[in-house]
Structure 1
Amino acid sequence: MGASVIVEGLHITAGDQTLVDHLSFAIEPGEVLALIGESGSGKTTTALALMGYARHGCAIAGGSVRIGDIDVLGLSAAGQRALRGRTVSYIAQSAAASFNPSRTIMDQVVEPTRIHSTMPRAEAEAKAVQLFRELALPNPESIGQRYPHQVSGGQLQRLMAAMALITDPELVILDEPTTALDVTTQIEVLRAFRRVVRERRATAVYVSHDLAVVAQMADHILVLRGGQMQEVNSTAQILARPAHEYTQSLLAAARPAPRATEHCKGEGELLLEVRELSAGYGPVNAQGQPAAMILEDINFKLYRGQAVGVIGESGSGKTTLARAVAGLIAPSKGSMLFKGHALRPDLRQRSKEDLRQIQIVFQMADTALNPSQTIERILARPLQFYKGLQGTALQRRIHELLDLVRLPHSVAQRLPGGLSGGQKQRVNLARALAAEPDLILCDEVTSALDTVVGAAVLDLMADLRRELGVSYLFISHDLHTVRAVCDEIIVMQHGRKLDHVARANFDRGPHHPYYELLAASVPELRQGWLEERDRQVSPATESVACAA
């Protein structure tokens, strides 16, 4: 049984800025509280404070945190170190960034028991195997002997949960643990987390911006905005009758609707045709095939003004397809035609006009924007390269681009580090638009954004499509988003195209079983969905669809 958690007047600052503003709440033993809100609302900052921790540059300036009888903020530094990993444990968003690649999984999972001297090594390993089994990991007796790179992302996320639970903590903090996972993997992880938390009667805090996921996990929801509580209530009450206007906006954004764009049915000018495209990575053999073949025999057409979605799990070849079209990876077989002429396979062989007409927007705006360059300089570069703009004309066009993506002109003088995730992704989009392209390749452009910001970016893309006539190849693992944005959907698995679904058939079959599995794996915004889904989609059905 977990402990009670009582937070009173929690106040966290970063210099003169208030991050969490005198926040108070309580969690009963064995309950799950979800913290939801947009990026920058204070969710993770609040969760970390439950361990007595504030990130670099931040300070816990006031208030109290009690876990059971322990006054967390009153502990010495040594006392807080003894608390972390023992009384309270933390499951981070990115397991891949949290594991040491040079040590075996078992060494790392049992490490908390060694640090806190809770049990002998042999007993800890036996308990780890038991947790691997509870978390539905494959080969629980031997998976601990592998290294982190030898397991999938979803498995690594569950292994991090085993590490967090091995000391039987009173409180478990889950910080966006499924955000980076594709939908079918997310279901496996959610199912495992929920079962373990419930069976162990652990008190838990679940940080997320995804209300549909929260609906499957949480007993209560606390809504944060700008570090202030907007409302707190039972999950059922929040979903059915949200009291605060901001909560209502979060719920509205969590229900994707078709964007206001006149959908293209594949008529008019053929913009891009991909024929029997194969591509991969690594050394090429005598037959011209790379060592690791990622794409095999992909065929599709994209017409002017169309938005075509590419859906599939991680590793299905979606991003490799976009990179091949962009010229960032040379195909080993097949051809690509753009406006009727052959696209050179290598970016360096393409004409300036080909480069201008096909632009790519990457998933992580953080790594796609040069942190040492101002936004003005980032946007100026393609305008100078493709359009030869200078002086007043250059400044005017930069301001027009910022207007297009709904950003204030003052942003131009700032560095990327001073912008929010949504603002950076808008700059990423503005940079692509600077070239006035015919086709934009969108690689998971909203997956790292919270629900409200992601919905705003999708609305913006729909407006630009209508106003500028730009076409999109929209890559995602979120089928709800793709259905809201796209005219057609290409379904991919293991590098192959399994299905091609037109908008008119999104909701009516017959479809490939794998498409049906993806559709059934997107959480719905209601309690009990996961239990209902488990009754309708058996593990046998999942395995058949995945093997197909």
Structure 2
Amino acid sequence: MTPLVEVRDLTIEACTDSGRRVEIIRGVSFDIAPGEIVALIGESGSGKTTIALNLMGYTRPGCRVTGGSVQVAGHDMIALPERRRAAIRGSEVSYVPQSAAAAFNPAHRIMDQVVEVARIHRTMPVAQAREKALALFRALALPNPETIGERYPHQVSGGQLQRLSATMALIGDPKLVIFDEPTTALDVTTQVEVLRAFKAVMRERKVSGVYVSHDLAVVAQIADRIIVLRNGVVQEDAPTPDILERPQHPYTRQLLAAFRPSTAPRVAAEAEPTSPEPLLVVRDIVAGYGGLDKTGVPRLRVLDKVSIDLAPGRNLGIVGESGCGKSTLARVIAGIMPAARGEIRFEGRALAPDLRGRSREELRAIQIVFQCADTALNPAKSIEEILGRPLTFYHGMGGRERDARISELLEIVRLPRALRHRRPGELSGGQKQRVNLARALAANAKLILCDEITSALDTVVAAAIIDLLKELQRELSLSYLFISHDLETVRAICDEVVVMYKGEKIEQLRPEIHGGEPRHAYTKLLFSSVPQLRTGWLDGLEQDPELLKAFAQR
């Protein structure tokens, strides 16, 4: 069988800020058969997306192809003039982005944007394209398929928008679809539905696919073959079962090990609270947006009478789908978002709802590490300035004392001291998140609120951050409130897990119950939706349709 895609010795160079040219893709070769789905996996910077985009004849700014060939359905995507490549994109090769929201124009209705591909390429009349779009809406299991196209992008959920972006990619009957981390930002229950829909449509239409991801469990459910990349070089290329069960390359084995974070319990002395008095007490917190009504309750209530306790030296995980109130709870505890009702006590003392009413010592003791280090770190400041500010504010440090402490903080989070003179834009995602953590440590915090701090990181880097958090806890007697939708990560670091749904705490349990018998129906649904690292898991997953309907937030 003639391959649909033939990549031979692809080499791509990039230009650094200093003007030096470096090879970022080095001699990559692979084939994709008609109807085959191939996954590209590897850590950030491995070249996954760069290779995938070049299958569409697109090379990122600052990069250039210096060698090799890319053939897709008989087209030389490197040698073709841009006008010809543009005609192929959307018709023979299409793309589903990581952020569906960025793919849609908020000012236009969804249906108008989906059929635009047919209008641009003149493949069919608009009326026929609308009928085809409706068929795809049904095939992708979208709710209210007859009317969902009349909505605007902001009027549908993230999972629905991701499937709608797939509709846009598939309406032109492409031979190859590129999926670039399309479920990374989705909750596990939504992810299951989206993966099922993608897989069903691709199989039914016999479309080839390239699935870019760092999530091996997701890849295991959809890919026929896996190509493992590192530093722009293919490390291993084999059928999915062989990669998962019989990995040959040491780096592939490292990826598999990182996906299964250590859940070994801490020793008894560490696990026991150092004091009978809770470190943090949160009681009956009510918070939200849109101002207060006549009864003093937020018009848009996000948290509804939430209560938690956290003992010194312990870690509490908060899990649940997007919009359940996890991050809002962290902001309320930190004082960034004042609660309308309820009480927060820290080390036995009541905290003011608003951080402006808290003492400097209270601010120092509770620090928050945000999900996106890109927006949490000032891009105009050097790492030295970013870490120096809390040292001066909380401890009055200056001069040599501050410089020495900055070096110590960088060493604590396993970063070279030479990075102190760089700006955040010059660091990798994992390095930026370590700086984010070092800034919290600069305050000598007792409690660190970790808000989805590994969700934007690849598996290997995320595992290293979790190991670092554990080590810091042993050395500094820290406590963590760990917010995540990644249940495996929470299980690896937390002593107990709180499950939230629609602003309410619905269950609290120990992580070893994960996969066992949680009491609440939503917890059962949440835990059963976590992809397992084996082929066939998705096909064999059986979930109560009434339960899915009852808890639908998609």
Establish whether TM, by shorter chain, passes 0.5: yes
Change in CA separation of 1:351 and 1:334 when aligned onto 2, cut-off 3 Å: same
Find the aligned partners of 1:165 and 1:511 in 2 and give their Cα distance: 41
- 1:17-28 to 2 correspondences below 5 Å: 17-28=22-33
Q: Kindly provide the CA deviation profile for residues 23-61 of structure 1, in whole angstroms up to 9, marking residues without a partner as x.
A: 111011100000000000000000000011111111122
Q: Kindly provide the CA deviation profile for residues 515-537 of structure 1, in whole angstroms up to 9, marking residues without a partner as x.
A: 1111111100000000111xx32
Change in CA separation of 1:126 and 1:202 when aligned onto 2, cut-off 3 Å: same
Are the counterparts in 2 of residues 47 and 173 from structure 1 also a CA contact under 8 Å? yes
Change in CA separation of 1:130 and 1:46 when aligned onto 2, cut-off 3 Å: same
Q: Kindly provide the CA deviation profile for residues 404-462 of structure 1, in whole angstroms up to 9, marking residues without a partner as x.
A: 11111111111111111111100100001100001000000001000000000000001
Equivalent residue number for residue 365 of structure 1:
373
Find the aligned partners of 1:202 and 1:12 in 2 and give their Cα distance: 27
CA RMSD, Structure 1 to Structure 2 (Å): 1.5
Q: Secondary structure at the match of 1:73?
A: coil
Amino acid at match of 1:538: D
Find the aligned partners of 2:91 and 2:411 in 1 and give their Cα distance: 51
**2:12 is the counterpart of 1:12:** yes
Unaligned 5+ segments in structure 1 are none
Equivalent residue number for residue 209 of structure 1:
214
- 1:377-526 to 2 correspondences below 5 Å: 377-503=385-511, 505-506=513-514, 508-526=516-534
Shift of 1:266: 5.5
Change in CA separation of 1:86 and 1:2 when aligned onto 2, cut-off 3 Å: farther
Shift of 1:78: 0.4
Find the aligned partners of 1:425 and 1:496 in 2 and give their Cα distance: 29
Q: Kindly provide the CA deviation profile for residues 470-526 of structure 1, in whole angstroms up to 9, marking residues without a partner as x.
A: 100000011111111100000000000000102454454342121111111110000
Q: Among 244, 264, 272, which residue is 2:271 paired with?
A: 264
Find the aligned partners of 1:347 and 1:201 in 2 and give their Cα distance: 56
Are the counterparts in 1 of residues 447 and 478 from structure 2 also a CA contact under 8 Å? yes
Equivalent residue number for residue 228 of structure 2:
223
**2:542 is the counterpart of 1:542:** no
Equivalent residue number for residue 81 of structure 2:
76
Shift of 1:289: 1.5
**2:151 is the counterpart of 1:146:** yes
After TM superposition, the structure 1 stretch with the greater mean CA deviation from structure 2, 111-120 or 262-271, is 262-271
Are the counterparts in 1 of residues 3 and 31 from structure 2 also a CA contact under 8 Å? no
Are the counterparts in 1 of residues 274 and 313 from structure 2 also a CA contact under 8 Å? no
Q: Secondary structure at the match of 1:100?
A: coil
Equivalent residue number for residue 340 of structure 2:
332
Are the counterparts in 2 of residues 264 and 305 from structure 1 also a CA contact under 8 Å? yes
Amino acid at match of 1:516: K
Are the counterparts in 2 of residues 34 and 222 from structure 1 also a CA contact under 8 Å? yes
Equivalent residue number for residue 292 of structure 2:
284
Change in CA separation of 1:266 and 1:292 when aligned onto 2, cut-off 3 Å: farther
Shift of 1:214: 0.4
Shift of 1:257: 2.2
Equivalent residue number for residue 196 of structure 1:
201
Find the aligned partners of 1:157 and 1:507 in 2 and give their Cα distance: 28
Change in CA separation of 1:469 and 1:211 when aligned onto 2, cut-off 3 Å: same
Amino acid at match of 2:57: G
Find the aligned partners of 1:203 and 1:504 in 2 and give their Cα distance: 40
Aligned residues: 545
Find the aligned partners of 2:469 and 2:265 in 1 and give their Cα distance: 10
Amino acid at match of 1:308: L
Q: Kindly provide the CA deviation profile for residues 159-211 of structure 1, in whole angstroms up to 9, marking residues without a partner as x.
A: 00000000000110000000011111111111111111111110100000000
Amino acid at match of 1:22: G
Equivalent residue number for residue 62 of structure 1:
67
TM-score w.r.t. length of structure 2: 0.96
Amino acid at match of 1:374: S
Find the aligned partners of 2:189 and 2:2 in 1 and give their Cα distance: 30
Find the aligned partners of 1:452 and 1:516 in 2 and give their Cα distance: 28
Amino acid at match of 1:402: L
Find the aligned partners of 1:386 and 1:345 in 2 and give their Cα distance: 20
Amino acid at match of 1:84: R
Change in CA separation of 1:157 and 1:471 when aligned onto 2, cut-off 3 Å: same
Amino acid at match of 2:11: H
Find the aligned partners of 1:74 and 1:478 in 2 and give their Cα distance: 43
Are the counterparts in 2 of residues 376 and 413 from structure 1 also a CA contact under 8 Å? yes
Are the counterparts in 1 of residues 518 and 524 from structure 2 also a CA contact under 8 Å? no
Are the counterparts in 1 of residues 24 and 47 from structure 2 also a CA contact under 8 Å? yes
Find the aligned partners of 1:107 and 1:382 in 2 and give their Cα distance: 50
Find the aligned partners of 1:513 and 1:485 in 2 and give their Cα distance: 24
Find the aligned partners of 1:82 and 1:426 in 2 and give their Cα distance: 44
After TM superposition, the structure 1 stretch with the greater mean CA deviation from structure 2, 280-289 or 421-430, is 280-289
Shift of 1:330: 1.0
Find the aligned partners of 1:435 and 1:522 in 2 and give their Cα distance: 36
Q: Among 99, 103, 110, which residue is 1:105 paired with?
A: 110
Shift of 1:545: 5.5
Q: Kindly provide the CA deviation profile for residues 356-410 of structure 1, in whole angstroms up to 9, marking residues without a partner as x.
A: 0000000011111111111111111101111111111111100111111111111
Q: Secondary structure at the match of 1:74?
A: coil
Shift of 1:152: 0.5
Q: Kindly provide the CA deviation profile for residues 230-250 of structure 1, in whole angstroms up to 9, marking residues without a partner as x.
A: 010111111111110000000
Find the aligned partners of 2:265 and 2:419 in 1 and give their Cα distance: 27
Change in CA separation of 1:163 and 1:147 when aligned onto 2, cut-off 3 Å: same
Shift of 1:9: 1.1
Equivalent residue number for residue 132 of structure 1:
137
Equivalent residue number for residue 18 of structure 2:
none
Find the aligned partners of 1:67 and 1:505 in 2 and give their Cα distance: 48
Are the counterparts in 2 of residues 2 and 171 from structure 1 also a CA contact under 8 Å? no
Find the aligned partners of 1:60 and 1:416 in 2 and give their Cα distance: 28
Find the aligned partners of 1:2 and 1:116 in 2 and give their Cα distance: 26
**2:536 is the counterpart of 1:528:** yes
Shift of 1:286: 1.4
Are the counterparts in 2 of residues 110 and 124 from structure 1 also a CA contact under 8 Å? yes
Change in CA separation of 1:121 and 1:334 when aligned onto 2, cut-off 3 Å: same
Q: Secondary structure at the match of 2:162?
A: helix
Q: Among 345, 357, 361, which residue is 1:349 paired with?
A: 357
Find the aligned partners of 2:173 and 2:212 in 1 and give their Cα distance: 20
**2:41 is the counterpart of 1:36:** yes
Find the aligned partners of 2:522 and 2:147 in 1 and give their Cα distance: 30
Shift of 1:543: 3.0
